């Protein structure tokens, strides 16, 4: 690859058209050539749109819609297929999307009255190459991600950031067109979409999307390179035949949450592979990774990728030493860091230090050899469950919309499978915990539902009335 300014997706531009089975998702197969043809046809239908929302199920249609948007220079707004009407309205309204790529052509009958355009996998357009390559700094995606309070915020991700990040990862992981990438991750976040789809289209590796991310599906996929969140790896480690079936692979990669040492060691014993762990955020893309060529130790996320700089800061913003023991908030800067949230100048200002470094909100240590460990979050209000980043505030808002609930506090509590599970403490009358969970289920997608709800008489508060979340628990 020549760098961030060349064509973003060489596989679509004709570089690897000799691979007949390039792409498999939901049991359907496509060559790169078929993908290029179907995407060119779809690009003709969406060209000129301001932004294209994509109901991003794990299917070839999602890949075609995404590639079409990238060809036509239309910013893409992928959203979870199980998102609630309330979540969709927020994403569609906030992003300004003026068209939806969906299952069926819907005229103007789509969500919010927007036209719905369906992808036809069998069509071929004039040529993927007839669209001029959009400017490197243009927005490829607007990805929605949770903060500690309020509704999810839009993160514009540029083409240059994607190209730079994927090239750095390809270098760190020796990722080439000889690989077959396997994963079963959602296609509306950086992990499954940018790494898991565009990574294949940039390196030319074949891609198998397993649909559900089960141990059996990973074991049967016959790949060389596997991506997963720790919940997936822990389920594979607990299924020894599935873990052993990964022995012929080249590299197992974990990210989106901390990989427990016990899972790292079980995978190493059963599959013979010490997983690569990497760290990133929607706002920064992937910034740290262990290297395929170097020793991989459990609990570390390696060193900065090419072009990335990191540092640690204390609460007052003062430097924290890189001695492997002192903890500080991780700050990052580099070519993959976004410029700011969509239409949210205050949130943007709060996320950057005075000298322009992005404040990740993650607590880390950095060793004298440059090795990074992620040790937690600065705020208890950001929860990582099943590899999803979830804001406590969004769930508290949904709980308070339940007429029976008068007060609510949501925390993440340690959970062996999910890393953290969402637990809600509510002051409520005349409802059961199950009814409260069902109420949230009607408003938010499945991974944001509390797993446990405790109905309590009152919430612990300090003198000024702020809930003391560290005093919740054990209930």
**Interface positions with ligand MCA (CB under 6 A):** 185-186, 189-192, 213, 229, 231-232, 255-256, 280-282, 386-389, 437, 446-447, 449-451
Query: If we measure between CA atoms, which residue out of 189, 202, 152, 226 comes closest to residue 62?
Result: 189
Binding site for ligand AMP (CB under 6 A): 145, 190, 255-258, 277-282, 301, 360, 362, 374, 377, 384, 389
SS3 85: helix
Residue (281 or 409) nearer to ligand AMP, CB: 281
Per DSSP, what are the bridge partners of residue 155?
143
- Selection from ligand MCA, ligand AMP, none that 59 binds (CB < 5 to 8 A by kind) is none
Residue where the block lists tokens 């060809």: 71
What is the closest distance, in whole angstroms, from the C-beta atom of residue 101 to ligand MCA in the complex? 20
What is the closest distance, in whole angstroms, from the C-beta atom of residue 93 to ligand MCA in the complex? 23
Residue (311 or 451) nearer to ligand MCA, CB: 451
The C-alpha atoms of residue 35 and residue 58 are separated, in whole angstroms, by: 15
- Selection from ligand MCA, ligand AMP, none that 271 binds (CB < 5 to 8 A by kind) is none
Find out whether 217 and 211 touch, Cβ atoms under 8 Å: yes
Query: If we measure between CA atoms, which residue out of 14, 22, 73, 71 comes closest to residue 48?
Result: 73
What is the closest distance, in whole angstroms, from the C-beta atom of residue 152 to ligand AMP in the complex? 10
Question: Which tokens hold the place of 127?
Answer: 């040529």
Extended beta strands in 320-467, E state = 328-333, 358-366, 372-377, 382-385, 388-391, 405-415, 419-428, 452-455
- Selection from ligand MCA, ligand AMP, none that 374 binds (CB < 5 to 8 A by kind) is ligand AMP
What is the closest distance, in whole angstroms, from the C-beta atom of residue 377 to ligand AMP in the complex? 6
- Selection from ligand AMP, ligand MCA, none that 384 binds (CB < 5 to 8 A by kind) is ligand AMP
What is the closest distance, in whole angstroms, from the C-beta atom of residue 116 to ligand AMP in the complex? 27
- Selection from ligand AMP, ligand MCA, none that 277 binds (CB < 5 to 8 A by kind) is ligand AMP
What is the closest distance, in whole angstroms, from the C-beta atom of residue 193 to ligand MCA in the complex? 8
The C-alpha atoms of residue 141 and residue 8 are separated, in whole angstroms, by: 13
Residue (33 or 277) nearer to ligand AMP, CB: 277
- Selection from ligand AMP, ligand MCA, none that 229 binds (CB < 5 to 8 A by kind) is ligand MCA
The C-alpha atoms of residue 445 and residue 86 are separated, in whole angstroms, by: 10
Burial per residue of 203-227, b for 16 or more beta-carbon CB atoms within 10 angstroms, e otherwise: bbbbbbbbeebbbebbbebebbbbb
Residue (38 or 91) nearer to ligand AMP, CB: 91
The C-alpha atoms of residue 274 and residue 297 are separated, in whole angstroms, by: 8
- Selection from ligand AMP, ligand MCA, none that 232 binds (CB < 5 to 8 A by kind) is ligand MCA
The C-alpha atoms of residue 75 and residue 72 are separated, in whole angstroms, by: 9
Residue (128 or 243) nearer to ligand MCA, CB: 243
Residue closest to ligand AMP when measured from CB atoms: 389
Question: Which tokens hold the place of 238?
Answer: 């607990």
Residue where the block lists tokens 């205050």: 346
Find out whether 363 and 327 touch, Cβ atoms under 8 Å: yes
Residue (151 or 253) nearer to ligand MCA, CB: 253
- Selection from ligand MCA, ligand AMP, none that 401 binds (CB < 5 to 8 A by kind) is none
What is the closest distance, in whole angstroms, from the C-beta atom of residue 395 to ligand MCA in the complex? 11
């Amino acid at each position: 690859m020549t760098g961030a300014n060349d064509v973003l997706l060489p596989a679509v531009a004709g570089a690897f058209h000799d691979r007949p089975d390039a792409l498999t998702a939901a049991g359907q197969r496509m060559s790169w050539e078929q993908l290029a043809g179907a995407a060119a046809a779809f690009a003709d239908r969406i060209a000129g749109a301001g932004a294209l929302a994509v109901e991003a199920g794990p299917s070839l249609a999602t890949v075609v819609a995404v590639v079409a948007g990238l060809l036509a220079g239309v910013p893409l707004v992928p959203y979870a297929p199980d998102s609630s009407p309330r979540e969709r309205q927020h994403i569609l309204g906030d992003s300004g999307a003026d068209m939806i790529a969906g299952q069926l052509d819907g005229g103007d009958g789509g969500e919010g009255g927007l036209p719905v355009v369906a992808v036809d996998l069998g069509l071929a357009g004039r040529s993927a190459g007839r669209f001029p390559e959009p400017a490197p700094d243009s927005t490829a995606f607007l990805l929605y991600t949770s903060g500690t309070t309020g509704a999810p915020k839009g993160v514009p991700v540029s083409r240059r950031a994607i190209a730079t990040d994927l090239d750095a990862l390809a270098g760190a992981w020796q990722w080439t067109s000889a690989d077959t990438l396997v994963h079963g991750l959602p296609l509306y976040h950086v992990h499954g979409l940018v790494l898991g789809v565009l990574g294949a289209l940039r390196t030319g590796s074949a891609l198998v999307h397993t649909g559900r991310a089960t141990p059996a599906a990973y074991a049967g996929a016959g790949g060389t390179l596997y991506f997963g969140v720790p919940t997936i790896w822990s389920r594979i480690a607990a299924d020894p035949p599935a873990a052993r079936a990964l022995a012929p692979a080249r590299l197992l990669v974990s990210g989106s949450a901390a990989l427990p040492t016990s899972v790292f060691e079980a995978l190493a014993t059963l599959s013979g592979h010490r997983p690569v762990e990497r760290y990133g955020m929607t706002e920064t893309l992937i910034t740290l990774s262990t290297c395929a060529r170097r020793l991989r130790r459990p609990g570390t996320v390696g060193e900065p990728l090419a072009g990335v700089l990191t540092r640690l800061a204390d609460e007052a913003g003062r430097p924290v030493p890189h001695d492997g023991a002192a903890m500080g908030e991780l700050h990052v800067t580099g070519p993959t860091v976004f410029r700011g949230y969509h239409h949210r100048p205050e949130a943007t200002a709060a996320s950057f230090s005075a000298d322009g470094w992005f404040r990740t909100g993650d607590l880390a240590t950095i060793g004298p050899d440059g090795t990074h460990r992620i040790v937690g979050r600065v705020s208890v209000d950001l929860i990582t469950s099943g590899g999803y980043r979830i804001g406590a505030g969004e769930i508290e808002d949904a709980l308070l919309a339940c007429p029976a609930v008068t007060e609510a506090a949501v925390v993440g509590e340690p959970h062996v499978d999910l890393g953290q599970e969402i637990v809600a403490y509510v002051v409520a009358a005349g409802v059961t915990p199950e009814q409260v969970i069902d109420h949230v289920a009607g408003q938010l997608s499945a991974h944001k539902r509390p797993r446990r709800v405790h109905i309590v008489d009152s919430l612990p508060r300090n003198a000024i009335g702020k809930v003391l979340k560290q005093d919740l628990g054990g209930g």
